[in-house]
Chains A and B, each alone.
Chain A
């Protein structure tokens, strides 16, 4: 795989906005599908060892995707994405908010804007994320790192048990 694919990540703290640009070695329609179809999103959105599952998705303006990030221990962190604007294979916008398992959103959420363009078989995706509060960013991280932390503490317990057995 070529490593010359662009990755740019900047944060404007004052504007509460994160800017991300990334190139992918695939044509636009495939990358568009990977960002907009639940069955593909579930394959890459959750950083391993976490997994992602979508309960339902209705990809149209006003439609939603209701999904969860699942930790290796089975703990679920639900979120709702509501699509606010869609220009096929060019741009889509959504409002993302954490939720409980009964789909009650926890506001405020964040506004996501995705723009797609293709040049010579490489597709560029530009994402801006507007967060109303930094606390939310902290919570996004908590959700992601929870799974990892639990795995690590399990490992620690296992190691402690093993080493105490060795001693006795």
Chain B
């Protein structure tokens, strides 16, 4: 069964977070990325694959080389969801303030 990768899963891994930090600074080839880590090239390539699947990383061909760079839009999307969630929670709590103050008035 195909499991759709999600963004939280992608950034939960320390190696993948390190890869994101690396390529945030500049686009890199898979070999250049692998050289930064003390793991096998295959392991790094698996991490890159997961990052690509959830669209945090985009690939671009330059001549014979593939360069990976960060997908800033996807990162922004995450922040947007979080901001919306925060606003909903704020709204709920403002409504709760009203409920609490109504109950307190009734008690008096």
Q: Is B12's CB under 8 angstroms from A14's CB?
A: yes
**B9: A residues at CB distance < 8 A:** 133
Q: Secondary structure of the B side of the interface?
A: helix
Q: Look across to chain A and name the residue whose beta carbon is closest to the beta carbon of B13.
A: A14
- Residues of A contacting B85 with CB < 8 Å? 18, 137, 140-141
B-contacting 9-mer, from A43-51, A58-66, A153-161: A43-51
Q: Which of A32-50 contact B (CB under 8 A)?
A: 34, 40, 43-45, 47-48
Per the 8 Å Cβ criterion, residues 5-53 of A in contact with B are 5, 7, 9, 11, 13-16, 18, 20, 22, 24-26, 30-31, 34, 40, 43-45, 47-48
Looking at chain A's contact residues, the main secondary structure is mixed
- Verify A40–B99 contact, CB threshold 8 A: yes
Partner of B101, one of A18, A25, A134: A25
A96 close to chain B: CB less than 8 A: no
Please measure, in the bound complex, the distance between the C-alpha atom of A45 and the C-alpha atom of B89, giving whole angstroms. Answer: 9
| A89→B65 CA distance, assembly (Å) | 61
Size of the B side of the interface (Cβ < 8 Å), in residues, is 29
Neighbour of B8 across the interface among A22, A25, A134, A141, CB < 8 A: A134
B31 at interface by CB-CB < 8 Å: no
Chain A: minimal CB distance from B28 (Å): 22
With a CB–CB cut-off of 8 A, which chain A residues contact B17? 14
Q: Which residue of chain B is the closest to A123 with respect to CB atoms?
A: B100
Distance from A68 Cβ to chain B, minimum over Cβ atoms (Å): 16
Tell me if A131 counts as interface (CB < 8 A to partner B): yes
* Chain B residues within an 8 Å CB radius of A162: none
Q: Which residues of A contact B8 (CB under 8 A)?
A: 13, 16, 131-134
> In the complex, A45→B46 CA distance in Å?
42
Q: Is the CB of B84 within 8 A of A145?
A: yes
Question: Interface size for chain A: under 10, 10 to 19, 20 to 34, or 35 or more residues?
Answer: 35 or more
B61-108 contacts to A, CB under 8 A, are 78, 81-82, 84-86, 88-93, 95-101, 103-104
Q: A133-B9, A134-B8 are in contact. Are A48 and B95 (CB under 8 A)?
A: yes
Interface residues of A (CB under 8 A from B): 1, 5, 7, 9, 11, 13-16, 18, 20, 22, 24-26, 30-31, 34, 40, 43-45, 47-48, 131-135, 137-138, 140-141, 144-145
CB-defined A-B contacts under 8 Å, sample of 20: A1-B97, A7-B93, A9-B86, A9-B89, A11-B82, A14-B11, A15-B12, A16-B12, A18-B82, A18-B85, A24-B97, A26-B103, A30-B100, A44-B93, A44-B99, A45-B92, A48-B91, A141-B84, A144-B88, A145-B84
